[in-house]
Amino acid sequence: MRAMQIIELGKPLQMNEVEKPTPAAGEVLLRIHTCGLNFGDLLIMKGTYQEKPPLPATIGMELCGTVEALGAGVTHLKVACAMIMCLSTNIPSRKKSRHSSNAKH
């Protein structure tokens, strides 16, 4: 699959082929249709955000897409469910999502 990634801080994003992840228990794999870059993302790209992700980093805190696969134990969503998400951070060690109650099945 393709991902826009930060390869080096302060440089433009680069489109890369990356391995498609498999969702672990409690996780969901989304096919991203649209991803916005907000002020926090731009700070991460510049290297001035309070935390720095390990590189290469795939960024984007605001996104919409559809559920492509479910990890074990995920019962509140279905494959092909439309999702809109706002992540509180895109630093892997602190990534948390606010799930939408408006998911369309």
Contacts of 41 by beta carbon, 8 Å cutoff, 6+ apart: 59, 60, 61, 90
Strand intervals (E) in 1-105: 2-6, 14-17, 28-36, 57-58, 62-70, 82-87, 97-98
Identify the structural domains of the chain with CATH numbers, from first to last: 2-98 (3.90.180.10)
Instruction: Give the model's pLDDT for residue 23.
Output: 95
pLDDT tens-digit map of 56-94: 999 888 999 999 999 999 999 999 999 998 887 656 554
* pLDDT value, residue 94: 47
Q: What is the pTM of this model?
A: 0.75
